[in-house]
Structure 1
């Protein structure tokens, strides 16, 4: 996989925006969760559901363990929070320290396999592991680090032959979403109800001091995720100040040209990453527009309007006079985790989509000069897309060089409103008629969200619900209590990073069914 490094980039700080960020207070909500059972790996199992119960867990008794012993504790649900351990000794006075290794897993695979077997491309430091040495017993430890997990593997590395230990465990969860605001979907369809519940829980657990992409990994604010999280939040928890804070975080430090980073860190202070993705930068426009529509917050719109314009201006050199968006080599835009995908058509669609959203912002700001400028550019971009990419014989948008037909290409042309309604509906009908081997599909919930929304936008409700049930429902059937960063139904072990253990199994961009259900009246 590719990484961007741009060490020579210099960021400009907007101190007024940073001051506003400090004024936004985000309330945190907590809940205590206790273990539910002791589990063990099923024989020869390394699957996502490969654990079986071997004993219950009694909170009053805890877990008794010998030296060299290990157990896997199931908390019964995915948790994001701080873990505490009350450790006592049994038998003779403890004549040596107790050394414990704790391995946390969002899914069984992380506690069935040894972390030493990890072979992925991302840093192994993301794997959640703690080595504890306790010199004096009894002791109650509050682990400093926040963990995202359902399963906890405890290994007694050593004590001494003279004593055993007893452990009592609890987790205090953390979220800036009020769980009491979770809403049940009004439907008799139990699978849709469960998909909705899991999508809301996924969003809730990614709502921290910012909208994180994943509470295990990467634990930071990504613009592509924020756009979808904000939509889901408006439909459920209504924590709109969190959206506001995140918009200001991106705008508070930009490049000299005004471009926002693809993601930002907030600890130990606000630090923009040196990664830039064209589609993510453009989505700042859409995220601000959605926020204004939801809140009518004129002050924030006025503050951030210039930043929104800058995202288009900084990328304008890539728009040729013909209307073609020239795509550089390398990891310039995301679109999807999909190596075979030719991204040109999808990127063209995202530019058109973003120009239209900026036009709406300009109308709200009564910036008539920019509205007129954008009208001309939108017409040129759309005309190029129709004359160059639309294949009348197939009724689809086709890559002119490779002849590739891809779901992301059709999706972004439809979402951007290219052509009239009849053309867009025909595109989707023709796409749905093709066999899987004839097209390049989607690999991530992020891209599936956009595909499903394109179908719903054009009235393909039945097909959209079918895909939601197959895709998000497939994760539920594979044991998901929160939705995953990547799910490939033909291979549930698929990872864009080379090892499924590093995947995030509570990931923001997969949280949108709760938004889609409510916006499009699926109940």
Structure 2
């Protein structure tokens, strides 16, 4: 153990766990991918964000074209890529008497090729917007960009050459990387073509987020978040079976708890392991859930024994937030995630997450036959009883949250998943939810996953499929080749960050249709 004091936190580093994680670092598989076409980006008010791509020439024609000052073109790689760009350039005409000034704009969606990044006014750093300005002093040249990008489209703007020469782009390619191996996935042939396509895009989404760790998104953040990890791991068990990567991620979190034993919501892994100073109630508890799911998938008792103290500590810390009535104390700070939905009160859905993960902790305690089992069972009974007493509104037939007794989708969904009611009562609650449609709705694929799973466990499989087709099917209709971080069918420009330009269009928590389809036989 070593103590690391940072500005706002004290980290107790478990070097043994960190070394275990390092030994589990995966091999990355490299594929050379070339662009498929040259496209034009056209305004179209009928498509998402108001821009679409139209093929104007095959990419192979690029080497036959010369470009000078103020010329531009856009390459389409045909599918989403995560990797490193290489560009081979030569001059045409007189010998180059001035450097080439070249700007590259790199993006996952057509809108990123069309709307100037200079106009971005969101609250996340604009440095996440993918662009490069390059000066080439000597031609011919092969330019290999050092940064890794997440993209489908690349726009080339020739800012300047000189009046005496032009440039030819002889070759553009991407060295794409993932730690996933598509050859290990059992292919399915679904009778429903829409679900088949959903499964394929889910696999691509998950694969592009599988790097040294399960990244939340390869375009932005590019780090390991516990909430994303839990869902990625579930999808992984049904597909790639890269279980050592899940194990690695668990040990990374367990390697850097704070001085109270709480695991962070996310960690950075480069240049070395660093815990972020963000701590979220539900994400810390999902260390329990992720360990539980990992053990069920692998029967890895050694890992369970090593990581059980870390998992149990998350429950202990969570229980400290309960008031005298065994209800979580609410607050106005960002204490729990649940969803990006504006105005969502987190108290009741977080109470349900506590119940959900306590049940998982009890199952793990039974496997280990540890004394904590009995106290967990006793406390769970008290908390479930309190939940029914104080958070259920018999008149509205909904669970309510916070001092304003808010009725939200998230509260009902998580209470169903937590199993506070019986299956028939869950079914009635979910049908009531879909009929009444409370105003405080769902903002992310992360929460939509839990909606679909809640419908499945309530016995409403057909309604679950219908919701998947509306939501993930809607993304496909709007051009998704990987599933997105955010999607609101009623407000397609939605972003919690102030601009859809900064949204991630390949995001881990959106990859779960493959899990739902394969696990539950949809």
Query: TM range, normalised to the smaller chain?
Result: over 0.9
Matched residue, 1:387 = 389
Matched residue, 1:17 = 17
Matched residue, 1:474 = 474
Q: Is the 8 A contact 2:280 2:336 kept in 1?
A: yes
Report the Cα distance in structure 2 between the residues aligned to 1:481 and 1:455, rounded to whole angstroms: 26
Report the Cα distance in structure 2 between the residues aligned to 1:503 and 1:60, rounded to whole angstroms: 30
Matched, 1:155 2:169: no
Q: By how many angstroms is 1:194 displaced?
A: 0.9
Q: Could you list the per-position Cα deviations for residues 7-38 of structure 1 after superposition, in whole angstroms to 9, with x for gaps in the alignment?
A: 32110111111221222141211211111111
Q: By how many angstroms is 1:405 displaced?
A: 2.1
Q: By how many angstroms is 1:184 displaced?
A: 3.5
Matched, 1:239 2:242: yes
Matched residue, 2:30 = 30
Matched residue, 2:271 = 268
Q: Could you list the per-position Cα deviations for residues 289-326 of structure 1 after superposition, in whole angstroms to 9, with x for gaps in the alignment?
A: 11111111111111111110111122222112321111
Matched residue, 2:507 = 507
Q: Could you list the per-position Cα deviations for residues 411-463 of structure 1 after superposition, in whole angstroms to 9, with x for gaps in the alignment?
A: 111111102222222211211221x3x43211100000011101101111010
Q: Could you list the per-position Cα deviations for residues 189-208 of structure 1 after superposition, in whole angstroms to 9, with x for gaps in the alignment?
A: 11111111111100000000
Matched, 1:351 2:354: yes
Q: By how many angstroms is 1:43 displaced?
A: 4.1
Matched, 1:169 2:169: no
From 372, 375, 382, the counterpart of 1:373: 375
Q: Is the 8 A contact 1:406 1:439 kept in 2?
A: yes
Q: Is the 8 A contact 2:345 2:402 kept in 1?
A: no
Matched residue, 2:460 = 460
Return structure 1 stretches of 4+ with deviation > 6 angstroms.
none
Q: Could you list the per-position Cα deviations for residues 85-104 of structure 1 after superposition, in whole angstroms to 9, with x for gaps in the alignment?
A: 01111111111111111010
Q: Closer, same or farther in 2 for the Cα pair 1:43/1:15, shift >3 Å?
A: closer
Q: Is the 8 A contact 2:413 2:454 kept in 1?
A: yes
Q: TM-score under structure 2 normalisation?
A: 0.96
Q: By how many angstroms is 1:156 displaced?
A: 0.6
Q: By how many angstroms is 1:341 displaced?
A: 1.4
Matched residue, 1:132 = 134
Matched residue, 1:47 = 49
Report the Cα distance in structure 1 between the residues aligned to 2:272 and 2:392, rounded to whole angstroms: 47
- Deviating more after overlay: 185-194 vs 442-451: 185-194
Mapping 1:297-312, distance limit 5 Å: 297-312=300-315
Q: Closer, same or farther in 2 for the Cα pair 1:43/1:291, shift >3 Å?
A: closer
Q: By how many angstroms is 1:60 displaced?
A: 7.8
Report the Cα distance in structure 2 between the residues aligned to 1:127 and 1:449, rounded to whole angstroms: 28
Query: How many residue pairs were aligned?
Result: 514
Note the residue ranges of structure 1 that are not aligned, 5 or more in a row: 1-5
Q: Is the 8 A contact 1:48 1:108 kept in 2?
A: no
Give the root-mean-square deviation of aligned CA atoms.
Answer: 1.5
Mapping 1:97-496, distance limit 5 Å: 97-167=99-169, 168-367=171-370, 369-399=371-401, 401-434=403-436, 436=437, 438-496=438-496
Q: Is the 8 A contact 1:394 1:430 kept in 2?
A: no
Q: By how many angstroms is 1:403 displaced?
A: 4.2
SS of the equivalent of 1:486 reads coil
SS of the equivalent of 2:396 reads coil
SS of the equivalent of 1:140 reads strand
Mapping 1:64-103, distance limit 5 Å: 64-103=66-105
Matched, 1:8 2:8: yes
Report the Cα distance in structure 1 between the residues aligned to 2:489 and 2:200, rounded to whole angstroms: 21
SS of the equivalent of 2:69 reads coil
- Deviating more after overlay: 497-506 vs 53-62: 53-62
Q: By how many angstroms is 1:231 displaced?
A: 0.3
Matched residue, 1:3 = none
Q: Is the 8 A contact 1:26 1:209 kept in 2?
A: yes
Q: Is the 8 A contact 2:42 2:51 kept in 1?
A: no
Report the Cα distance in structure 2 between the residues aligned to 1:480 and 1:314, rounded to whole angstroms: 40
Q: Could you list the per-position Cα deviations for residues 51-92 of structure 1 after superposition, in whole angstroms to 9, with x for gaps in the alignment?
A: 222222117836531121111111111110111001111111
Q: By how many angstroms is 1:44 displaced?
A: 6.1
